[in-house]
Amino acid sequence: MKKLVECVPNFSEGRNKEIIEAIADSIRKTPGCSLLDVDPGKSTNRTVYTFVGSPEAVVEGALNSAKVARKLIDMRHQKGEHPRMGAMDVCPFIPVANVTMEECVEISKNFAKRAAEELGIPLYLYEESSKTDYRKKLPQIREGEYEGIAEKITKPEWKPDFGPAKFVPEWGATVTGARFFLIAYNVNVLGTKEQAHRIALNIREAGRGENEPGLLKETKAIGWFVDEYNLAQISINLTNYTITPPHIVYEECKKQGKALNLAITGSELVGLIPLEAMLSAANYYIEKENLLIVDEEQKILLVVNKLGLNTITHFDPKKRIIEYMIEEEKSEPLADMSLRSFIKSVAARTSAPGGGSVSAAIAAMGAGLATMVAQLTYGVRKFENVDKEMRSVIPPLFKGTNQLIPMIDADTNAFNDYMEAMRLPKHTEEEIAARNQAMEDGLKKAIKVPLSTIKLADAVWDSFVELAKYGNIASRSDMEVGARALGTGIWGAYKNVLINLPGIKDEAFKTDVVREAEAYLKRAEEKCKEILNILDKR
């Protein structure tokens, strides 16, 4: 899998549209970089850019944007609500996929070194990239802001990590480094700047000082008034959302607002948010209000509503949740076919798709029928007495159905890998050995895929049994067909495991697979019979 790094440079310009777009365009035109978000603020006079790319690409993107800012932003004339010390004020690098924090530290140092050399600007390292305690956090380095740099930068303890130890009036100084994913999050307050700041002091980790710490860990906050919104905001940085997520902050702000007789009217996300944070919030409200929501899209809708993320501007999950922004197009041509086309593809004069894909499809339909009956039972007034049971079975049935669908294509893909191995050259002893190993690996994959189908289908049985006991009996035939289909899908996948075993030379592998597959097959026969017996007696 490819390495992916996020870069979130903050520039001290939020009003001049031409400058904002010029910086955005420099990132957009950098090969290998995907610009995900541009979030300008007039009152703050600051724009936050979010882009992702390979480790090499993000360095180029950050450099290109800094070069544009060097030409177009003059800090001698910059004023705004947000604290700042440079034209490119801060430029963090964040690991997203298959990249370690240590790698991002090196990325930030590479950027700082090149920016210092090519632009002649001073740069400080912070967070994971800094080894000095007194200049590790952004507020420590930014203290005194732009206006204090001229005096501060000449002191030995504040010598920049890269670049000249002198004041560059038109630029100021830049902070860069590697850090955990930061969520920039604003909570709306119908009140004054001072009232918003009072809540900020209460919730932020630093509180009002050493003797009066705040309520929430990994939380930084200040209060301000946003003229363009005509309301105050608690401006919050969540430095580790796994410790303090946005929904906990929002609920605490509501509690604080109530104590002060202030209305908290929604919130605003600045930049992007990880899917994990949104689903964590969904699970919080689902549990708190005893809801039953299994569809991911509905979970996101719930969070948008509960946090009031549409209050200021429209919250589009596809443009604000980072995983949705960078997800690659799924390649599931068989699963995406019409049913007619899939059947015709199976019937065609080709060996794939074959029994493995058909088995996965049948198992998915069996699980799907169970899910259908459970949802037709839940929420119906005359079945309120089994509400608890339906709430228990719907999530695993829904999950099983959706996990089985990709196996339709996975089985065909595994078979194709084996066929590719067979086509490898076999002219020399080395080529023969490489071909044999590739074929062995291909066969093992062709076995593991239907074995995975069996395991995913097996996970549905226990919930299906409970459904048979309490589900809408008017849908008895649907449950019967579903049980038979699930069992047939497992039996078919089992047969696809067996047919590929003779070509495997690894005897221990073969023994373990047969033992495991036969155990699942036996359980499938027992569970299918149990479900049919339960239905016969109802």
The per-residue pLDDT for range 230-258, each reduced to its tens digit, is 999 999 999 999 999 999 999 999 999 99
DSSP secondary-structure letter at 406? T
Instruction: Tell me the pLDDT band of 62, cut-offs 50, 70 and 90.
Output: very high
Domain 183-326, CATH homologous superfamily name and number? Formiminotransferase, C-terminal subdomain (3.30.70.670)
Q: Could you give the percent of the chain with pLDDT greater than 70?
A: 99
pLDDT by residue (tens digit) across 396-411? 999 999 999 999 999 8
d(CA 303, CA 393): 23
d(CA 363, CA 353): 15
Is the pLDDT score of 89 beyond 90?
yes
Q: What is the mean predicted confidence (pLDDT) over 318-338?
A: 84
Tell me the CB-side half-sphere exposure of residue 448, using CA atoms within 13 A. Answer: 11
Is the pLDDT score of 278 beyond 80?
yes
Instruction: Tell me the pLDDT band of 505, cut-offs 50, 70 and 90.
Output: confident
* Least confident window among 184-188, 415-419, 513-517: 415-419
Q: What is the mean predicted confidence (pLDDT) over 280-291?
A: 97
pLDDT by residue (tens digit) across 120-169? 999 999 999 999 999 999 999 999 999 999 999 999 999 999 999 999 99
Q: What is the pLDDT of residue 413?
A: 85
458 is catalytic: no
pLDDT by residue (tens digit) across 331-380? 799 999 999 999 999 999 988 899 999 999 999 999 999 999 999 999 99
Is the pLDDT score of 209 beyond 90?
no
Is the pLDDT score of 302 beyond 90?
yes
Is the pLDDT score of 206 beyond 70?
yes
Q: What is the pLDDT of residue 202?
A: 97
Q: What is the pLDDT of residue 329?
A: 63
In the chain, which segments carry CATH 3.30.990.10? 4-178
Is the pLDDT score of 316 beyond 90?
yes
Is the pLDDT score of 328 beyond 80?
no
Q: Assess contact for 390 and 463: CB atoms under 8 A.
A: no
Distances from the Cα of 324 to the Cα of 155, 425, 478, angstroms: 46, 41, 35
> Hey, what CATH class is 4-178 in?
alpha beta
Q: What is the mean predicted confidence (pLDDT) over 442-462?
A: 94
Q: Is the pTM of this model over 0.85?
A: no
Instruction: Tell me the pLDDT band of 421, cut-offs 50, 70 and 90.
Output: confident
Q: Residue 250: helix, strand or coil by DSSP?
A: helix
Is the pLDDT score of 1 beyond 70?
no
Q: Which of 180, 288, 179, 304 is nearest to 246 (CA)?
A: 304
Q: What is the mean pLDDT of the chain?
A: 94
Phi, psi at 208, each rounded to 5°: -105, 15
Q: Assess contact for 412 and 357: CB atoms under 8 A.
A: yes
Q: Which residue among 39, 82, 197, 247 is the active-site one?
A: 82
82 is catalytic: yes
Q: Which residue among 39, 161, 409, 411 is the active-site one?
A: 411
The domain made up of 339-537 has a fold known as Four Helix Bundle (Hemerythrin (Met), subunit A) (1.20.120)
CB neighbour class for 157 (10 Å; exposed up to 12, middle 13-18, buried from 19): exposed
pLDDT by residue (tens digit) across 91-120? 999 998 789 999 999 999 999 999 999 999
Tell which wins on pLDDT, 182 or 203: 203
